[in-house]
Copies of this chain bind each other. A is one copy, B any other.
């Protein structure tokens, strides 16, 4: 049994962490902080938790956090990096669900997040927590940068193509047309987020540039070992009138070798031992509801035209795209079964 702290427990990733961790067989959540709700019971704010916990919000007290085996930061960008050094020094592991430990490129970090990084040394030693791709490093890590939701769909959707020795695809051709449910924008009192502005509506956003673009570029470079070829890929996110769920439609031009290859089999073999990545049969249509509430990503492949591959990649943005993957990483770090606390089946309908 390990002890856990959660910093920032009033957002959607915070309550999702609680949903998973309160049912985890080897975890006890001891600390839950909030800048604004100190003293309030968490199940008063989130009645879904009534009967499952007596936790109250507390102020962020670093000494209390140091007593935990691991601390999750479900905070805005820039919080985790302020406390990571002290926690690591106290042998407390850190899993940040914000962006502080996602980008190794400090210039990109400062450009997109407007923050100077507070602990570049810790960052260098931190591990990017895409569980399936960095499993061994994660097991040894003290600090995890939990991936962004969109980048998770893209990396798992493309990894089999870039982990191959031969060149199957033209990397510079990649277009990612991504769609997310509204919970991806967090729990904020913002006019753009209100019901009547989003229901029965659809739009693109961030077309001119989005923070997940540099994260995708850096991640694909790491996966493929190729630098520079991904700089000009396109990433266009859209907002779907649904609460949870994310689908990325990824377009890639194939080389002659890629056109000739059996990509379906390639993908199936690549993920054969992965319980949280599901390569669906040819001609499947992965729906976001098939992963609602589940730590699961599903992929389908199409070749509707010669030398053109379409990859469909779906997940629940709050689970495999955030809190679920964070728990998966915790499981790896502490030697638990990788699916401990994560075996729930998606809610359909």
Contact = CB atoms under 8 A, between A and B. Distances in A.
Interface stretch (A74-82, A112-120, A150-158, A287-295): A287-295
A191 B37 CA distance: 14
B289 A200 contact: yes
B305 A232 contact: yes
A162 to B, nearest CB: 20
Interface in A230-274: 232-234, 236, 238, 240-245, 247, 249, 251
A19 to B, nearest CB: 5
Given A188-B194, A196-B12, A312-B207, A242 B293 contact: no
Nearest to A312: B204
Interface in A186-235: 187-191, 193-205, 207-209, 232-234
Given A19-B345, A47-B280, A249-B177, A201 B305 contact: no
A145 interface: no
B286 A47 contact: yes
Contacts of A49: 345
A285 interface: yes
A233 to B, nearest CB: 8
A197 B192 CA distance: 14
Nearest to A294: B48
A50 B298 contact: yes
A255 to B, nearest CB: 16
A223 B345 CA distance: 36
A234 B305 contact: yes
B249 A236 contact: yes
Interface in A281-338: 283-294, 296, 298, 302, 304-306, 308, 310, 312, 314, 318
Contacts of A275: 51
A278 to B, nearest CB: 5
A197 B45 CA distance: 12
A286 B291 CA distance: 26
A344 interface: yes
A347 interface: yes
Contacts of A292: 48, 200, 347
A273 to B, nearest CB: 12
Given A209-B304, A236-B310, A346-B48, A194 B193 contact: yes
Given A48-B294, A51-B296, A345-B19, A288 B202 contact: yes
Contacts of A318: 349
B189 A194 contact: yes
B245 A201 contact: yes
Interface string A103-137: 00000000000000000000000000000000000
A89 to B, nearest CB: 34
B291 A48 contact: yes
B312 A349 contact: no
Contacts of A209: 304
Interface of A: 12, 15, 18-19, 22-23, 46-52, 175, 177, 179, 181-183, 187-191, 193-205, 207-209, 232-234, 236, 238, 240-245, 247, 249, 251, 275, 278, 280, 283-294, 296, 298, 302, 304-306, 308, 310, 312, 314, 318, 343-349
